[in-house]
Structures are given as structure tokens and as C-alpha cells.
Amino acid sequence: MAVALYNRTSSEELKQRMLQETEPRTTISFYNYFLIENPKEFRDFLYLNLDKLGVFGRIYIANEGINAQISVPTNNFEAFKTFLYSIEALNNLRINIAVDDDGKSFWVLKIKVREKVVADGINDPTFSMENKGKYVNAQQMNALLQEKDTIVIDMRNHYEYEVGHFVNALEIPSDTFREQLPMAVDMMKGKEDKNIIMYCTGGIRCEKASAYMLHNGFKNVFHLEGGIINYAQQIKKEGIDSKFIGKNFVFDNRLGERITEEVIAKCHQCGQPADTHTNCKNDGCHLLFIQCDRCAATYEGCCTEACQTIYNLPEAEQKKLREGIDKGNMVFNKAKARLRPKLNEE
């Protein structure tokens, strides 16, 4: 009998099963740039083996490598590592373990083949990931941040930067990584001899960004090994000061893990200090925005009174209103007038 290489159960049922689990899980992430000759075959090989280990999460495969954010039953963690390290290109690969984790981050295993593991918009055939910036660990990062010739660049999206970032880090004001790469080059023109440190959540974006900067003539380019996740683990283990303040946005059910106690963002509805991201409860919206506890209660988790009204309609009426709606990239961004309708404080 053929083995199913895709999940056949509804997402909601799987989520409820996960929430009822009593066995602890560990949330991890990893990536590696390496040549995969047959991504589809490699994808199926991974699915068969990871499904047996009870792994949930999201994995992207491409000719250029792998990018994974998953949760593993804690009792199977060593077996998972043994399997992962049995793959030659992934042997002894650094695994980022989540900082603020309840193990309830994923409830289904999805492994997808893509053109690239990180959509970058790079079409230059001479670009290569073989020439990339130098890794820096937490101590080296902190030391470089003290030097006057250092520029630190955040290679994450605006909504990630908003809730947490390194002290004096430059934001590349964009919604997508593919837009950020040329913007970073333009912003750094004339600073080719400066120390440029790039960082991101887990390392995959800033590693590619460092290679792109070198490709464009910059000389002293560094990137934070393992990103913010690994940095947070290192400062905790080594007892050193955190130069990252606030919360680290993560792309799973948690939507964030706290690094320091500072709350540097504001509720998008009332303007009070808050850094909890949520998706609007109206299924026809699902806008990602920051909401404080008071506004969450007032608006029942919705982004506007209009969405709250729809959210309280019978499900059949909600479905009818949702027909034909293209939500697109529904992320709150004060700098862009494209948002319909504005949140309540505006």
C-alpha cells in the first residue's frame, strides 16, 4: 500500500489533536544553502522520515537548499538529530532551539518545493552563495556594535523590527526581502569600507544578504550566526548583556518570543505600549497587527469595529461576505496608505 506523502486530515482537527497532546515538544529551526539536484525526491524522503518521528512544521526545499521551522516531540529529539545528521550536507548543522516556547507552535507537517528557499528577486547568474559574509557570535556581535565604524542592518520586515531590534539597527523599510536587498545596497553606497553587520530571525535571510552585499562591492560584511534566536540562547548561556531589545517575531503560532522585558512597540488601536501580534478574528480580513489586552477585549480580537460586526454575524453570512475577497499581504503598516479601513486610532 502506498504511503501518503501529504496530510489528509483537516487543519482544525489536527490543531485540536496537538493542543490535547501531553508529551512535550521542542520548537526548532534550521537552514542550509547547498545544492539539491532533485528537490521533489528530497522532499518526499524528508516527509517519510519526519512524519514517522511526529514532526510538525513548515519546511521549504529548493535547488539552493533547505529552510525549516518545526516542532519535534522532545522524546524524539535525539532521533531527529541522528536522522538529520545522517544527511551528508546537514551533518552537524546548527539547530536553533526556540527561546520562549510552549511546544504548541505547529500542528501539521508541510514540506513544499519552491524555486528558492528565500525569495530574493536576484536574477544575476554570477551571484553565488559561496562568497558570503563572516559569521559573528553573540560576543563578537556585541564587540563590533561598540566600534564607531560599524553599521548594523536589520534584514527583517517592518513588523518584525517594530517589536524588537538591536540597538541603533537600521531598518530597511519594506514588506519583502526581495525589495530589501537592492535597498540595502543603495542605503550603504559610499560606506563600502565600513563594518556592516546584517542580522535576521534565524540567519537564513542575513546570510544571503551578506553574500549580496559582497557581490555588490562591499568589503567588511558580517552576519549574525543563527540570527536572533541563536544570539538569545548564547547571551542566556554565557550571561552577557543583550544588545537586542524587545521581542523577536517568529513565523509560527506564537508570533513572537520575548528576549528582553522592554516593550518598544505600541498598540495599533489605542497607542498604549504593547508588542503582541495577532491576526484579526474576522476570517475575511486576518490583518496582522499589534493589539493590547484591553483592545483585544473591547474589539474581540478584531482590528476595527467593522470587522467586529462581521465577526459576530452568523457563519453563513460571514462566508457570503468573504466571497471574492483577495486579502493579499494583510500586514499593518502605518507608512502605507493602502490599508483599508484604518485601525481605530487613526
- Digit-by-digit pLDDT tens for the chain (346 residues) are 344 565 665 565 555 565 556 678 899 999 999 999 999 999 999 999 999 999 999 999 999 999 999 999 999 999 999 999 999 999 999 998 887 666 677 878 999 999 999 889 998 989 988 899 999 999 999 999 998 889 999 999 888 999 999 999 999 988 789 999 999 999 999 998 889 999 999 889 999 999 999 999 998 999 999 999 999 999 999 999 999 999 998 877 778 889 999 999 999 999 999 999 999 999 888 899 999 999 999 999 999 999 999 999 998 888 888 876 665 555 655 434 333 334 444 3
pLDDT at 325: 67
pLDDT at 324: 67
Q: How far apart are the first and last CA of the chain?
A: 59
pLDDT at 128: 87
- The residue whose grid cell reads 545522517 is 86
Q: Which amino acid is at 44?
A: D
What are the backbone dihedrals phi and psi of residue 232, each rounded to the nearest 5 degrees, phi first?
Answer: -65, -40
Question: How does DSSP assign 170-219, residue by residue?
Answer: EE---S-HHHHHHHHHHHTTT-TTSEEEEE-SSSHHHHHHHHHHHHTT--
pLDDT at 240: 93
Helix, strand, coil tally for the chain in percent (to 5): 30, 20, 50
Nearby residues of 234 by Cβ (< 8 Å), 6 or more positions away? 137, 138, 139, 240
pLDDT at 173: 85
Nearby residues of 315 by Cβ (< 8 Å), 6 or more positions away? none
Residue pair 73/53 in contact by the 8 Å Cβ criterion: yes
pLDDT at 281: 94
The grid cell for 293 is 489586552
pLDDT at 16: 58
Residue extents of the structural domains in the chain: 14-113, 134-237, 265-346
pLDDT at 89: 94
pLDDT at 101: 65
Catalytic residues: 200
pLDDT at 209: 95
pLDDT at 333: 57
> How far is residue 134 CA from its own chain's centroid?
22
CATH code for the domain defined by 134-237: 3.40.250.10
**Rama region for 60: left / alpha / beta (φ>0; ψ in -120 to 50; rest):** beta
pLDDT at 163: 95
Residue 11 in 3-state DSSP?
helix
Question: How does DSSP assign 64-85, residue by residue?
Answer: TEEEEEEEEEGGGHHHHHHHHH
E strands in the chain:
25-33, 56-62, 65-73, 96-97, 109-113, 134-136, 150-154, 164-166, 170-171, 195-199, 220-224, 244-248, 257-258, 277-279, 288-290
Other residues' Cβ atoms within 10 Å of the Cβ of residue 335? 6
What fold, for 14-113?
Alpha-Beta Plaits (3.30.70)
